[in-house]
């Protein structure tokens, strides 16, 4: 009998400690004014129900105290929702008013403080970075884009180039054949090559010519272009 009473006493003490943990947890949240939704109230109520069913009147006072703390927590959750709703409603207005008072330099400084680039190291290799630097360096040497000139989309054909006096049909075919061999040489055993490695040349005119020739090869289905969003 004494052993049974000892075991029962231990279980009762453990039940009391469980109630004390629940009460302490809720009081800590209310005191620190942290997010009250970090606690699952339904889970706490289920624990209390099981303890009350098992020990009955022996833990009734502890159960009532814990239940009182849960009521306080629910009130805190209600106030939290009201405050968050107010912030969500007034926040954009305060932000807009603050932006209007800031200079461009202050806005740029704040932006840099909170800016998190979406490009990660695992998406980019050193070779890709070096290729990008080569491209930027090549673009820097090109003449500035003319202003006030509207662009028009049209398809260049051998006849069009010939009519414009840019190339004769024979010269165009020769350049096209030469460029096609260049593509084959650069590709080698590779399945693809970077677009800018293929078209960029020593001069702007030569680079533009390579772009036109490549476009013509694409229109004939001899080569194809594939867009890589990472590059």
pLDDT digits (tens, 9 = 90+) for 83-108: 777 766 666 777 777 778 888 888 88
pLDDT at 1: 45
CA separation (Å) from 65 to 49, 73, 112?
Answer: 14, 13, 50
- Tell me: do 92 and 157 sit in the same domain: no
Confidence check: pLDDT of 148 > 80? no
Nearest to 61 by CA among 23, 8, 116, 118: 23
Q: Is residue 42 part of a domain?
A: yes
Share of the chain above pLDDT 70, in %: 76
Confidence check: pLDDT of 150 > 70? no
End-of-domain residue from the set 57, 86, 111 = 111
- Tell me: do 101 and 175 sit in the same domain: no
Q: Is residue 125 part of a domain?
A: no
Confidence check: pLDDT of 38 > 70? yes
Confidence check: pLDDT of 211 > 70? yes
- Tell me: do 156 and 107 sit in the same domain: no
Residue 221 DSSP code:
T
End-of-domain residue from the set 111, 131, 161 = 111
* Phi, psi angles (nearest 5°) of residue 51: -65, -40
Domain coverage including residue 36: 2-111
Average pLDDT over residues 158-186: 73
Nearest to 26 by CA among 69, 81, 62: 69
- Tell me: do 39 and 99 sit in the same domain: yes
Please state the domain count of the chain.
2
Q: Is residue 123 part of a domain?
A: no
Task: Round to whole Å and give the CA distance between 231 and 31.
Answer: 52
């Amino acid at each position: 009998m004494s052993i049974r009473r000892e075991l029962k006493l231990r279980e009762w003490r453990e039940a009391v400690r469980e109630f004390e943990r629940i009460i302490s947890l809720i009081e800590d949240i209310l005191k620190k004014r942290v997010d009250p939704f970090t606690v699952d109230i339904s889970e706490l109520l289920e624990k209390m129900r099981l303890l009350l069913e098992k020990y009955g009147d022996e833990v009734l006072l502890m159960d009532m105290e814990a239940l009182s703390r849960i009521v306080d927590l629910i009130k805190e959750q209600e106030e939290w929702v009201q405050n968050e709703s107010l912030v969500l409603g007034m926040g954009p207005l305060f932000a807009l008013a603050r932006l209007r008072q800031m200079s461009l330099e202050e806005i740029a400084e704040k932006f840099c403080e909170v800016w998190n680039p979406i490009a990660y190291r695992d998406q980019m290799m050193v070779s890709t970075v070096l290729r990008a630097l080569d491209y930027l360096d090549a673009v820097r040497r090109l003449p500035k884009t003319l202003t006030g000139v509207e662009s028009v989309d049209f398809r260049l054909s051998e006849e069009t180039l010939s009519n414009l006096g840019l190339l004769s049909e024979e010269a165009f075919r020769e350049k096209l054949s030469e460029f096609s061999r260049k593509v084959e040489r650069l590709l080698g055993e590779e399945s693809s090559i970077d677009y800018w490695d293929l078209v960029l040349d020593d001069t702007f005119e030569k680079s533009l010519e390579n772009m036109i020739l490549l476009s013509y090869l694409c229109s004939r289905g001899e080569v194809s272009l594939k867009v890589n969003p990472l590059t």
